[in-house]
Structure 1
Amino acid sequence: MIRTFLRILPILLLPASAFAASSPVAVTAEGGDLRAQLPDGRVLRGAELVGVVLPFQGAELRVDAARPDDGARAGDVWLYRLSVRGTDGQWSESCEAGAQAMVFPGPAGAVRLTCSAGAIGTCIRLGYRPWASTAEGVALAPYHRACVNLLRSAEDKAARIEVYDRIGIRPAPAPDAVFDAGWTVEGPVCLADPGPRANDPQAEIALAIMAMTGRTGRDGCTEDRAAALGALVFNRIPAG
């Protein structure tokens, strides 16, 4: 059941200017890998950053652990355990229990931080790395945003959702899985099972438009129809 279409993405955006001039390091994200340049020109990355404290926006961020993400579909994704020093001087983990921090490059040299348990981090781990392109030169940033829209809009059935595409990042699931919807950077292009309308005026309007234009229900929303409407990623739900 689709509950809402677009939500604000919970990203901590660290602009390059956030690191004070007196800071002992300059921090960047190379893909999903955090890197820190020291005043002597040395560059620390990945596990070399464990124990380093990074100042930003008047606070301090400490790297407690770092490892490559063995579950990711590409080798340039890392998982970090980061702690933030509070005003009382105590350190607390930046992500909820069981989740780990992830980084990726933002605009103008910024570093974006997110947590592995959220839609943003999950879509990166599924293979939709927003900084990367396919071997054929297809940028993955729009696919990442479409994937995030999908997961954010279907939290009630997220554990059963099977995400796939037509560019070779994730193959289609078993044919007995039931097609559900196709997604773009703006939201769903059609809904095979719209369910009750979300308590959201914009979502209700979008559903009404799709219904009036024949883009809901099993006949109005098939994978081929969604692809023709511009969908980048698709999802199915296992039968039963």
Structure 2
Amino acid sequence: MIATFMKLAVGALLFCAAFASSSLPAAAAAAASPPERIEKTDVVGTAFRLTFSSGKVLQGKELVGATLSLRLSGDAVAHRVRIDDIVTDSRDPDGEVLLHKVTVVDGRTPVELCDPDPDGNRWMFPLKGQWNSEGKMISQSGFTLTCSAGAQGKCVRFGYKPWKTLSDGTDLAEYHRACVNMVRADYCGDRATTRTGMKIDIYDDRGIQREAESSGSDELSFEAGWSTAGAVCVAHTRVPDRMTLDGLQRSCPRLANRLGSVLCTAQNAKTGLFGKALIFNRSH
């Protein structure tokens, strides 16, 4: 699949917390006879699920209009966040991904969360676990509000859903981590080297994303195969003024003998010559 990344939002992690309180939308409030408390907050896929003291459960689109009190990880101050809309992602053939429009309503002027994604939308959704600003999962507990403009959010929308396991036991969480490295051009698994406006072709060994046909002056060439640790080999770097093959050889010893288009071919990456690659990409 060809994708153009208009903005790489490395700060996709916004809130990691449990609900401190919740103001429900009118329909949900009417359905929840007072007094009721939120006993449990879960994230299922990309949907919130609230369990109340009466046993009532509200989740997904039922929470449109709710105002939530969320606390930043390590922050004692709670922030009031309103869910303005929730829609099913039209790109998801399974209809599992829910996109949320969210606004911070702490101050006089509401502030919409998230930078615009390549389509100009400011969607976000929750994911179980916590990620740091480098796109790495640091905890299985809690949840993260992930922007569609960020690497974590993009990779979910590409089909690499970290909560899913395929029928043959394949854990898509590993594909999601490999995809985050690929989006960030994080070859050594330690820092992003991409920039705004990069056009790449993404594909994998499971057919979740398929290699696009290329033609004419727009032809892309194989860049790298990707694993949960970063690249398994690199044919060429995506943004040479941010990282070169020579720079990779110096800064990432494990890639020293896996660099250049002679050694790092799509075939070598696919056959596991340099280790198991889950995702592949082409770029200019």
Contact 1:73–1:127 (CA under 8 A) maintained in structure 2: no
1:125 equivalenced with 2:134 (yes/no)? no
- Residue type at the aligned position of 2:87: R
> For the structure 1 residues 150 and 171, does the alpha-carbon distance in structure 2 shift closer, same or farther, using more than 3 Å as the test?
same
Mapped partners of 2:17, 2:195: distance in 1: 34
What TM-score do you get using the length of structure 2 for normalisation?
0.69
Relative distance call for 1:103 and 1:167 in structure 2 (3 A) is: same
**Does residue 198 of structure 1 match 2:249?**
no
Equivalent-residue separation in structure 2 for 1:181 and 1:78 (angstroms): 31
Change (3 A) 1:190 1:109: closer
- State how far apart, in whole Å, the 1-side matches of 2:15 and 2:171 are: 21
Structure 1: distance between partners of 2:214 and 2:243: 33
Q: Percent sequence identity over matched residues?
A: 32
CA distance in 2, matches of 1:62, 1:23: 20
Question: Aligned partners of 1:114, 1:27: CA distance in 2, in Å?
Answer: 17
Q: Which residue of 2 aligns with 1:76?
A: 96
- Report how far residue 114 of structure 1 moved: 0.7
Is 2:63 aligned against 1:62? no
**What CA distance in whole angstroms lies between the structure 2 residues aligned with 1:60 and 1:156?**
32
Structure-1-length-normalised TM-score: 0.81
Distance across 2 between alignment mates of 1:157 and 1:180: 17
Q: Residue 127 and residue 221 in structure 1: after superposition, are their counterparts in 2 closer, same or farther (change >3 A)? A: same
In structure 1, stretches of 5+ residues that fail to align are: 1-6
- Between the aligned partners of 2:128 and 2:166, the Cα distance in structure 1 is 17
Q: Counting helix residues as a fraction of each chain, which structure ranks higher?
A: 1
Aligned-partner Cα distance in 2 for 1:132–1:8: 24
- 27-36 or 99-108: which moved more? 99-108
Would you say the 8 A contact 1:59–1:84 is kept in 2? yes
> Which residue of the other structure, out of 175, 181, 184, is the alignment partner of 2:224?
181
Q: Which amino acid aligns with 2:20?
A: F
Query: How well do the aligned residues superpose, as a CA RMSD in angstroms?
Result: 3.1
* Aligned 8 A contact 1:51 1:63 in 2: yes
* Structure 2 residues without counterparts, runs of 5 or longer: 1-8, 23-34, 72-77, 130-138, 186-192
Displacement after TM superposition at 1:204 (Å): 5.8
**Structure 1 match to 2:278:** 232
How far apart are residue 165 of structure 1 and its match?
0.7
- In structure 2, what is the Cα distance between the partners aligned to 1:123 and 1:99? 16
Contact preservation (8 Å) 2:12, 2:151: no
| Residues 1:220 and 1:207: Cα distance change in structure 2 (over 3 Å) | farther
1:223 paired residue number:
266
